[in-house]
Structure 1
């Protein structure tokens, strides 16, 4: 085929546009309401239609997260680390796709977007490595005055609703999801309202890795609209309000008090800096056991 014929064939070919869907319970449903909203890049160019999640979608995601919690929290820390490392492998394999999506989402050059994606993959590996180490950092034997062993061990809090950062569409997203699931919790994630596409694509990565369905559930849409039922839900144990503005965070914290949810308040974060262990310990509970000596 001549060069002219090849160009003609390319001109005739219709592009295959991607249909983005929610990721709930290991499946890819459309929004229960059937609604979508337009996602645009920084220049106002149309990128895709993203699902506009409803309250019903939020409730379904909580049900899926609760169902998955027993198996995920009961897995060995070493096993969780291996599963999460597999996610990093899958991210690496789809690196070019995420570079394009991050560049569009954040208005970055290809080289800067590539740096963000590489940092996100490295961040995921970093948290995967902490799964079987965090217990040694925050747990241990306690000295007591009596013939007892006194041991403190960390346990996951439960179902955590995570409001992803609005500006950092992948690196920030990974930085808030990975520590939650690395410590045995399950997550309902509300993606960035204006840049949800990398989060929805992350759902595809999770589905093709070894992460059990329901461990991470990804919703897109209006942050305030989705977050309100999650904050009030009696089966949600904790909230990460990173992606909420001050007014929304205040309202959600009031709703969260009804069943004494743990709340991680929003604060300025440099996601390119060393994350430390603060997010790993944010959604851990400490269990202390007394045991008689010699028994």
Structure 2
């Protein structure tokens, strides 16, 4: 079976729903464990970053204004689309990080359907955990306000309550140790509570974040 990583690809940026090349025209090369070239990625400039932040600011008002239920449904759909790219995520992780995980192979099997069904391996487990994390926070989207918000009885004919509000635009920097799970762990709670996110890929392995942008 031929996968996306079998064909050398240049991953573009993802800004404002589009896939532009870097304003500077610069790219970076991602090498595999054996030194082979896996892909090229457009390298964001400061202007690209400013454009991403501005786009997130514009989108944030509408996202925060959406009902918590609708935010959860969007996140569920995102998790479903990640399922469809499960094999790509696993390959992206294994292709660049196998050396670091040598001798630490987990003995757990993946539960879900898809390209990694029944496969034992740390990369498959990380992808599984990332999807589960997103599904978890999708379910929390219409519940966290009930948990965090509270009513405070006061004297007189008044009604006192607290209501959580979105912070705004959040930066999420993927850690090198877990370039997919770590990024989802930052993005999911931010999206759940109505924030817009500017995601920054791991420098050690930026391919999973690039694939996530396609989702």
* Structure 1 residues 200-279: aligned runs within 5 Å: 200-205=210-215
**Per-residue deviation at 1:197?**
0.3
State the secondary structure of the residue aligned to 2:10: coil
Q: What is the CA distance between 1:112 and its match in structure 2?
A: 1.8
Structure 1 outlier segments of 4+, above 6 Å: none
TM-score (norm 1): 0.62
Q: How much does 1:153 deviate?
A: 0.3
- Contact 2:130/2:184, CA 8 A, preserved across alignment: yes
Question: Quick one: structure 1 residues 146 and 47, their matched pair in 2 at CA, closer, same or farther if it must change by over 3 Å?
Answer: same
Report how many aligned residue pairs link the two structures.
191
**Match for residue 187 of structure 2 among 177, 180, 197:** 177
- Select 2:205's aligned residue among 191, 195, 206: 195
Give distance in 2, aligned partners of 1:137 and 1:164: 28
Q: State the alpha-carbon separation in 1 of the partners of residues 158 and 96 from structure 2.
A: 56
> Is residue 12 of structure 2 the alignment partner of residue 21 of structure 1?
yes
What value does the CA root-mean-square deviation take over the aligned residues? 1.4
Query: Mind listing any 5+ residue stretches in structure 1 that lack a counterpart?
Result: 1-14, 206-295
1:88 CA displacement: 0.6
Aligned counterparts of 1:76 and 1:133: Cα–Cα separation in 2: 11
Number of the residue aligned with 2:22: 31
CA drift of 1:146 comes to 2.9
Higher strand share: 1
Structure 2, gaps ≥5 residues long: 1-5, 106-119
Q: Which residue of 2 aligns with 1:58?
A: 49
2:75 corresponds to which of 64, 84, 94: 84
User: Can you list the C-alpha shifts for 1:164-190, whole angstroms capped at 9, x where unaligned?
Assistant: 212201111111111111110001111
1:40 is aligned, of 15, 19, 31, to 31
